[in-house]
Amino acid sequence: MTMKQLLIGSLFAASAVAWNAEVHNQIGFMAETFLTPKTTAILQQILEPKYNGSIGKAAAWADAYAHTPEGRFSYQWHWIDTEDNPPTLCHLNYAQDCAKGGCVVSAIANQTEILKGCIKHVKSGSLTGGTNLTCSYALKWISHFTGDIAQPLHASGRAVGGNTFRAIFGNVSTELHAVWDGYIPYADANVTKTFSNQTIEPFFASLVTRILQDKKDDFLESPEKWLACSDPSTPKLCATRWAQESNKWDCEYVYKNVNSTTDLATSGYAVGAFPIIEMQISKAALRLGTWLNKMAVGNAYDLEDEDEQMEL
């Protein structure tokens, strides 16, 4: 059994409601590599000073906040529960599936509109030093939910997003949601310690390199296609499409190949999921960086500009 096939549960909490906190951090650090200097400067004025201008350091905040009395209202914003039946049927309909109190699609859309106004305040000089919590929260929520929406089980209502679907991973009894939140990413990265919440890890830096190279067959699909809907002026439309993409994986792999009585670390399930996890994490990071750039500096930024941004 290789390290990629076995990772004990002590590395992370199986009851997490989204990608493990450190995976969220890493998605944020990846996204930072795609930001223009102007975007970075603007975001530094929006985030609270304790984050030192880093969306990577702030990207996991939303999970902890959702578990506080004051933040409990945002708990359901982390997912959209579909009324379908994977692997037989996968279908996500925003009007039908987004709950009355909101969902990950509406949260991205609403917080994007708020952040647009915050960016205008920074440009006018009326917002500096991360003093507006509404603005800082909007940025932190967008940074987090762009990651959540890429996790296939955050776009599925079956078994409460996989939280009640029992699973075994590395001889540890857990649930399917936790398998996708952390067990598989950690196994894919082949590490024996938790990912950093302060800087990008080699595994995620290598994903950035692959995105920038955009070579044929390096991912399951070209990164250029991930930006087909990346316009913050249509946030609900784009977020819905992102959720629909994730939802399809519930039929094409997540539930199609799962077995609750076999060890997913050694059965071939985890290895088969690695390319999906790598693409979904990378997709979230590229979309987040592009989304923020377009709000801050307009539509001039696209995938072809990224090599130049990395050099600046």
* Pair of tokens at residue 89: 């049927």
Taking alpha carbons only, the member of 259, 258, 260 closest to residue 276 is 258
Contact 142, 291 (CB under 8 A): yes
> pLDDT: is 10 or 114 the higher one?
114
Q: What CATH number has the domain bearing residue 200? A: 1.10.575.10
Give me the pLDDT at residue 7, please.
Answer: 41
Q: Each residue of 116-141: pLDDT tens digit?
A: 999 999 999 999 999 999 999 999 99
pLDDT for residue 308 is more than 90: no
Q: What's the token pair of residue 5?
A: 């096939």
How many domains in the chain? 1
Could you tell me the two tokens for 42?
A: 């603007």
**Does residue 221 sit in helix, strand or coil?**
coil
Query: What pTM does this model have?
Result: 0.91
Q: How far apart are CA 40 and CA 285, in angstroms?
A: 15
The pLDDT of residue 312: 26
Percent of the chain with pLDDT over 90: 87
* Structure confidence at residue 14 (pLDDT): 36
Q: Quick one: CA torsion of 211, 214, 219, 225, rounded to 10 degrees?
A: 90
d(C-alpha 139, C-alpha 286), whole Å: 16
Identify whether the C-beta of residue 214 lies closer than 8 Å to the C-beta of residue 306.
no
Chain-centre distance for alpha carbon 17: 12
HEC-encoded secondary structure of 173-199: EEEHHHHHHHHHHHHHHCCCCCCCCCC
Check residue 18 and give its pLDDT: 59
Confidence bin at 10 (pLDDT 50/70/90): very low
State pLDDT tens for residues 220-272.
Answer: 999 999 999 999 999 999 999 999 999 999 999 999 999 999 999 999 999 99
How many CA atoms lie within 13 Å of 181's alpha carbon, on the beta-carbon side?
Answer: 28
User: Would you call 44 exposed, middle or buried from its count of C-beta atoms within 10 A (0-12, 13-18, 19+)?
Assistant: middle
| pLDDT reading at 305 higher than 50 | no
Give the torsion through C-alpha atoms of 200, 279, 254, 161, to 10 deg: 60
Q: For the segment 16-38, what is each residue's pLDDT rounded down to a tens digit?
A: 445 899 999 999 999 999 999 99
Domain that holds residue 230: 3-311
pLDDT tens-digit map of 70-86: 999 999 999 999 999 99
